[in-house]
Structure 1
Amino acid sequence: MATDYAKSEKPDIVLVDDRDALAANHDLEKSSQVRIIDNFTVLGLSEEDAAFYDSFTEKQRKQIIRKVDWRLVPMLAILYLISQLDRANIGNAKIEGLSEDLHLVGNQYNIVLALFFIPYILLEVPSNVLLRKFRPSVYLGSLVTAWGIIMTLHGVVNNFGGLLAVRLLLGVFEAGFYPGAIYLCAFWYMPKELAVRIAYFYCTSALSGAFSGLLAAAIALMDGVGGYEGWRWIFLLEGIATTILGILCFFFLVDSPALSGKWLSPDEIRFLELQSFVKQGGRFSVQNAEKKLNWFEFKMVLTNWRLYLQAYLLLCISACSYGTKFTLPSIVKAMGFTNNTTAQLMTVPAYVAGALSSIFFAYLSDRFLWRMPFIAVPMSLITIGYAVVMGFNGKLGGSHTGPGYFALVLTCMGIYPVHPSVTSWAANNLAPANRRAIGLAFCICMGNIGGIIGSFMYLDNEAPTYPTGFGLSLAFGASGVIAAIVLELSYMWANKQKSKIPEEEVRARYTEDELLRLGDKSLLFKYLL
């Protein structure tokens, strides 16, 4: 029977990412209390558990991870796809007549877009705290079902006030999904496997733009059916699909190895629990008991200045991403594709290119276990793409249609790889697990402020040149490159400073409980670049 580490009393462990430095200390490596496992220093792991963990070959480990991939990633990918469809389909509904039928004037459409992000931002951290109190399948399933019902109600609103109300509620229930999904992935996967798994489901953010255009073009043909306009059917049908998926979460979304059922063997469950114990950085019994609000961890998150740089990178990408999603159909229409259906379909290639780019850069990031270049290069693509657009003064029609459209495709190729690399970078450099859950949610919610900015970047009265939208997108791309480089240099400097103090001196200065409490601030914790 698999060992239940959530209930057993296991000694503390301390995480270190520098195997070579530790291996140089032969006395430490030979100690019965210290073992180096998968580049982590594990204190107090029993001989039996260590031998069992080490007995798994690389091939066996890959087979287990593939099993996890097939059970976890497709479900998260589908859910994230539907979440992106549900928040971005309002852009497709707009060119099908939403603004005219609801009599929206001035910047009311932009206000509707921005309102979604207010509860979305405020509730992400509390939601991840709540997630640790419930089974993920139950908690996330409840969220998805609720926002599916709200999405369906979008199709029956009759005025500006009604649209505001359903967008507000949509933000409330969608808030917890993405940070919860990232935390769930961080629990199941080792750091070197994380970025590409996040990219597998995050790339559906790009594909959602493609599907949104395709679905909107098809569903809009239902205009008049049942007495409803075509844009209403977009919300009604997609909302019903979301509700069904939310109910399926209760049965198909995986929770933890111990609750995995029959799809994992007892040995595989034991291996995954040991793997979690190795990388989590603490005693599972303590972490399980500390599901109450931990103000010390909140303080450590709020005083971690590097997290604000991580959040700024996400803000840059969120502003560019949401600005593009909410406005790309209108931009393409202004390029000369005046037929609504053609304009919807012409958004598809850009989003497909963004999805492929997301997987490609994430694979390289995990392959080299290095995050910064695979953030800075895509940010550079955003800068180049919008520089081309600004070079045309935002006038993308006529002879500029081809180059302008290519530039927009280039920006999508830059937008979608950044989020997986940034979130996995943050997750890899936060410990222990409570701090990781809070820090990830904090980083993502701060980054989602970019959604509010993106909602107001592209103003109807500036169409079709959109100087504010294109100019801000260019600025976000360029400043993101600088922020990624500064963050990399700061981690390098911190690792260098930590390495100056001998490990024996650190252990003499701090107890193991103190080192565990310090987490990523411990002198033994090495940051991942």
Structure 2
Amino acid sequence: MMAEKDTTIMHLENQPGPGISTEDAEFLSNFSDEARKKVLRKVDLRLVPMLVLLYLVAYIDKTNIGNAKIEGLLSSLHMDGIQYNIALSIFFIPYVLAEVPSNIILNRLKRPSRYLGFLILCWGVVMLCTGFVQNFAGLVVIRVLLGLFEAGFLPGAVLVISKWYLPNETQTRIAILYTSAASGGAFSGLLAFAIAKMNGVAGYEGWRWIFIIEGIATCIIAAACYMLLLDSPSLSAAWLTPDEIRFLEVRQMANNNHGSHGGSLDKSIILSVICDWKMYLLILINWSNAVPNYALKFSMPAIIKSMGYKAASAQLLTIPPYMVGAFSAYGFSVFADRSSWRMPFILAPQLSLIVAFSILFSKAADIKNNIAVCYFGVCLACFGMYPILPGVNAWNVGNIPNPQKRAVAIGYLICFGNAGGIIGSYIYQSREAPRYPTGYGTSLAFAASGIVACLTLEFCLWRANKTKERMSASEVEERYTEDQLREMEEKSPLFKYTL
């Protein structure tokens, strides 16, 4: 974990602005580097592993339908390829619609552990029921319920992280959380390979056992979330000292010194997020990950199977690409947090996607004679996809000082990002195998548009910062009161956007 006290944190602690008292500012400035590292290490060891485990479960439960497909799901339920695409995409409708409301609810609760634990229990029961569906209609209902209950987890997890860490500490933690998605993809294939061996046990096919076993495991982990997930520093006196609690709370207040601290959420905050032009560039950047990622993870076992491997081997060969994605997400995020610069560590992965999907688009038509290069393309795609989501979310969190608006913006960005999953559900069509021109071509297009959006956002934020620098501190003090500056939030001339 990153433990250095960088210049951003030093500025917050030594010049905290109007958000905290002089006494609190002095407390922050006197809080030693060693003590800071110690308290962050304590939070890391208790919060991050639990979130990683929960996201691992969420990812497996969301994507195991791809593993079940090559174990006989379609033939058993008398489904065709289009019905499978519908079953994939229907998940994202409630998933997208419920994310912002869920984050608004979570932001008002003192104990996120109970709310998230309830959601996980609900989708665990739904996952268990998936193993007993008998037809396409039943699968559609299951996927709708699964999308509804899973919707609140990822934006909720990012919101919880933003309440414990400062903006230039968030990307590494979000990346560790997100690497569990990459690891989940690898583990999902291995787990499906093992569970499918139960084919015929109690009269159920192997694909049904995948959902039954994983559903039971999810319900057990929901109980662990309820008991073990951290809520807030003020409710952590059992393992934090009073000074450590005060440090964690006051530095968040210092970080939010350009934002209004009102506790209520009104329509103006929601409207300000909807009308924020930066959100839509971030959404386009997010889609450069979401569309290719959702599409590939639902189809990777089938793509590898088209190379000539049997279903069991195809499950196992999904592991290396996901592991590459896990290492990539963490590595890029460490450097992004240390430099407090987001754009380069999003742009480089996007360029990797361009190369990866160019390879697959040109070589997959004859995939059996290009196994090595196509498998490399799949691995490179995972290398490029997984660092983007942590970078985009950290960029978003770092540029919204108002905690209430931040909660809505996190949900809004993830909500529209996940809407890319609806597109991704349709672009790999069984009738186009193994070439998949629609899948690889669409992924290539979204990666290219994401690059344009990333560079545009960087330029606009850089220009905005340059404009703010034209006004001196004395001019700002003469023109605005402290209350006015706080109400202006990120538009304040004293607030500098994270690039």
Normalised by the length of structure 1, the TM-score is 0.90
CA distance in 1 between counterparts of 2:161 and 2:173 reads 8
Query: Which residue pairs with 1:351 in the alignment?
Result: 322
Query: Which residue pairs with 2:143 in the alignment?
Result: 167
Q: Which amino acid aligns with 1:103?
A: H
> Quick one: which of 63, 66, 74 aligns to 1:91?
66
What displacement does 1:393 show? Answer: 4.8
Query: Which residue pairs with 1:43 in the alignment?
Result: 18
**Pairing 1:419–2:419 present:** no
What CA RMSD, in Å, does the superposition of the two structures yield over aligned residues? 1.7
SS in 1 for 2:230: coil
CA distance in 2 between counterparts of 1:350 and 1:72 reads 27
Query: Which residue pairs with 1:328 in the alignment?
Result: 300
What displacement does 1:436 show? Answer: 0.6
**Pairing 1:287–2:280 present:** no
What displacement does 1:18 show? Answer: 9.6
What displacement does 1:106 show? Answer: 4.4
Percent of aligned pairs sharing the same letter: 47
**Pairing 1:299–2:275 present:** no
> Quick one: which of 37, 50, 56 aligns to 1:62?
37
CA distance in 2 between counterparts of 1:280 and 1:414 reads 32
CA distance in 1 between counterparts of 2:46 and 2:134 reads 41
CA distance in 2 between counterparts of 1:255 and 1:426 reads 22
Instruction: State whether residues 92 and 419 of structure 2, in contact with CA within 8 Å, keep that contact through their aligned partners in structure 1.
Output: yes
Deviations 1:182-201 (A, max 9, x none): 01111111122110010011
Instruction: State whether residues 36 and 42 of structure 1, in contact with CA within 8 Å, keep that contact through their aligned partners in structure 2.
Output: no
Residues 377, 256 of structure 1: alpha-carbon distance in 2 compared, 3 angstrom cutoff = same
CA distance in 2 between counterparts of 1:502 and 1:354 reads 45
> Quick one: which of 229, 234, 237 aligns to 2:213?
237
**Pairing 1:511–2:487 present:** no
CA distance in 2 between counterparts of 1:158 and 1:195 reads 43
Q: Which amino acid aligns with 1:300?
A: S
> Quick one: which of 72, 84, 89 aligns to 1:109?
84
> Quick one: which of 114, 117, 120 aligns to 1:138?
114
What displacement does 1:282 show? Answer: 6.5
CA distance in 2 between counterparts of 1:458 and 1:401 reads 19
CA distance in 2 between counterparts of 1:45 and 1:124 reads 32
Instruction: State whether residues 14 and 26 of structure 2, in contact with CA within 8 Å, keep that contact through their aligned partners in structure 1.
Output: no
What displacement does 1:312 show? Answer: 1.2
Instruction: State whether residues 214 and 344 of structure 1, in contact with CA within 8 Å, keep that contact through their aligned partners in structure 2.
Output: yes
Query: Which residue pairs with 1:365 in the alignment?
Result: 336
SS in 2 for 1:219: helix
**Pairing 1:488–2:458 present:** yes
CA distance in 2 between counterparts of 1:359 and 1:306 reads 25
Instruction: State whether residues 195 and 366 of structure 1, in contact with CA within 8 Å, keep that contact through their aligned partners in structure 2.
Output: yes
Residue ranges of structure 1 left out of the alignment (5+ in a row): 1-16, 20-34
Larger relative helix fraction: 2
Q: Which amino acid aligns with 1:64?
A: V
What displacement does 1:40 show? Answer: 5.4
> Quick one: which of 236, 239, 243 aligns to 1:263?
239
Instruction: State whether residues 63 and 298 of structure 2, in contact with CA within 8 Å, keep that contact through their aligned partners in structure 1.
Output: yes
CA distance in 2 between counterparts of 1:372 and 1:123 reads 29
Query: Which residue pairs with 2:3 in the alignment?
Result: none
Aligned length: 492
CA distance in 1 between counterparts of 2:430 and 2:407 reads 39
> Quick one: which of 103, 107, 120 aligns to 2:95?
120
CA distance in 2 between counterparts of 1:247 and 1:441 reads 25
What displacement does 1:261 show? Answer: 3.2
SS in 2 for 1:96: coil
Map 1:70-85 → 2, pairs under 5 A = 70-85=45-60
Residue ranges of structure 2 left out of the alignment (5+ in a row): 1-5
CA distance in 2 between counterparts of 1:39 and 1:307 reads 31
> Quick one: which of 333, 340, 351 aligns to 1:380?
351
Q: 4+ residue runs of structure 1 moved beyond 4 angstroms?
A: none
Query: Which residue pairs with 2:424 in the alignment?
Result: 454
Query: Which residue pairs with 1:429 in the alignment?
Result: 399
CA distance in 1 between counterparts of 2:7 and 2:476 reads 15
CA distance in 1 between counterparts of 2:60 and 2:174 reads 18
What displacement does 1:311 show? Answer: 0.9
CA distance in 1 between counterparts of 2:81 and 2:312 reads 25
SS in 2 for 1:262: coil
CA distance in 2 between counterparts of 1:145 and 1:514 reads 45
Query: Which residue pairs with 1:5 in the alignment?
Result: none
What displacement does 1:38 show? Answer: 4.0
